[in-house]
Amino acid sequence: MKQLKIAYLFLPFILFPALCFSQVIFRNGGNENKQFPIIGESTSATIVYDASENVLVKKSANFLADDIDRVSGKKPPVLAGSTPLAATMIIVGTIGNNELITQLVKKKRLDVSSIKGQWERFIIQTIDKPFPGVRQALVIVGSDRRGAAYGVFTLSEKMGVSPWYWWADVPVQKSSTIFLQKGRFVSTGPAVKYRGIFINDEAPAFRNWATEKFGGINHQVYEKICELLLRNKANFLWPSMWLPTMFNVDDPLNPKVADDFGIVVSTSHHEPMMRAHNEWSVFKSGAWDYRTNKEKLQQFWRGGVQRMGNYESMVTVGMRGDGDAGMGEGTAVDLLKTIIKDQRTILAEVTGKPAEQTPQVWAIYKEVQDYFDLLPFTEPARSRASGVLKLDRSGGSYYLIGR
C-alpha cells in the first residue's frame, strides 16, 4: 500500500495478551531432525485444512502460504483433505472440525483440553510421526475459527511478516529457509472479549483514498481492513458511516467479507439495530422520533435485524436524535427504557431466540450518560447487554466494559 498513513487505525490491540510469542522460536537454518522445516534446504511443508471447516480456516491456510512465500520466495502448496497428504505437513483447523486433528486427539498425540470451549485460543505444536508415511507435522489448532486464524498470524509475525506489512509498508524479514523450534505453545485468551476499530469522520481523507485505490469504500477495501484486524488479534468493527455511506447498501458483499474474516460487525453509537444513519433518509419514513413515529421506526429496525441474518454481529441498542443529536429536551429515561425494551422484543421475534442470546452494545455518549446513570441496575439495558461502550469525546478513546 502506498501514499496513505492513517494514524487513527492504531488502537489498543495490546489488550490481547502476548500469546506466548517468547516461546515461538524460528531459525533461518537448522537441523531438520531437531526443528520443523517449514521451508528447509531440500524440503518444504504442505499446508492442509479440512474442506468442511469454516471459510476463515481456509483463508488462514492460504494467508500462511502467502506469508511463507513473502519470507522465503517459496510458496508451499495448500490442500483440502481429511487424510495425510504429505511427508511434512502443517495442519490448520479447529477442535471437532478437522478429521486429522480429531485423530491426533484420539491417539493422545495432541491434547486440546486446555483450550476446548474457550474463546479465541489456539495451540501450536509439532508432532513427530503423527500418521503412517508422515515424518512430522506442525499443528495449528484453534478453539474456534478466530483462534485458528490468530495461531496462523502468530506464526506469520514470528516468521517476519508484520501485521502492518501492507498498510504501513513494513518490510518483510527475508530468509531462504524457515525452521521452527519443535515444541508446544498454548495461547492465553484475550483480556477484552471484543476489540476493534471505528472508522469515524473518514471523509475526505479515507473516503477519497478508498475511491482512488478501490473505487469506493467497498468489499475490496474491507478485505484489507479485516485482514489487518485479524493480524492484530482484533475481532470487531464499526464500519465507515459518514454520510452518504451505508455499509450494507453500498456494497452487499461488505457484510459477507467481514463475516468470512470472522469480524464482528456492529453500528455506531447513534445507528441502532444494524442500520446506517443514511438508510433512514433512503427509507423516507418521516420523523426520527419514537414518540410520533414508533411504527415506522420499528419497521426500519426490524429490517436491519432481518438483513443481519446469521452473520456474527453486535447490535447497537438505544437511540439518539436525528443526525447524532440529543433525543430531546431533558433526560428522557422512561422513553429510552421503552425504546430498548421494544428493540429487544424485535431482536427476539426476528432471531427466534431470547434477546440476551444476541450480543448487544449500548453506547454511552453525551446525554446518554445521564440515562445510564439514572436507569436502575436491574434494567435489561444495563444488565443483559454484552457490553457498555463508554465514549470519551474529549480524550478520543473508548472502552468496552463487559457486564
Each residue's pLDDT expressed in tens, for the chain with a length of 403 residues: 444 333 333 334 434 444 444 356 666 666 667 899 999 988 899 999 999 999 999 999 999 999 999 999 999 999 999 888 899 999 999 999 999 999 999 999 999 999 999 999 999 999 999 999 999 999 999 999 999 999 999 999 999 999 999 999 999 999 999 999 999 999 999 999 999 999 988 999 999 999 999 999 999 999 999 999 999 999 999 999 999 999 999 999 999 999 999 999 999 988 999 999 999 999 888 999 999 999 999 999 999 999 999 999 999 999 988 876 777 655 578 888 899 999 999 999 999 999 999 999 988 776 666 666 766 544 544 434 455 555 555 444 444 444 4
CATH 1.20.120.1770 fits 17-186, yes or no: no
The half-sphere exposure of 199 on its side-chain side, counting CA atoms within 13 A, is: 27
Closest alpha carbon to 382 in 289, 329, 318: 318
Closest alpha carbon to 368 in 272, 249, 274, 285: 272
The DSSP output letter for 138 is: E
- 156 to each of 23, 51, 314, 385, how far by Cα in Å? 14, 22, 29, 35
Reduced to 3 states (helix: H, G, I; strand: E, B; else coil), residue 45 is coil
Topology (CATH) of 196-402: TIM Barrel (3.20.20)
Angstrom distance (rounded) from CA 87 to CA 70: 23
Which residues, 6+ apart, have CB-to-CB distance to 158 below 8 Å? 21, 24, 25, 26
CA 308, 314, 317, 323 dihedral sign is negative
Closest alpha carbon to 197 in 143, 137, 168, 240: 240
- CATH 3.20.20.520 residue ranges of the chain are 196-402
Question: Could you tell me which residues are beta bridge partners of residue 89?
Answer: 46, 137
- Phi first, then psi: what are they for 185, rounded to 5°? -130, 125
Reduced to 3 states (helix: H, G, I; strand: E, B; else coil), residue 135 is coil
Omega before residue 37 within 30° of 0, cis? no
- CATH 3.30.379.10 residue ranges of the chain are 17-186
Q: What global pTM score does this model have? A: 0.88
Q: What burial class does residue 327 get, using C-beta atoms within 10 Å of its C-beta: 0-12 exposed, 13-18 middle, 19+ buried?
A: buried
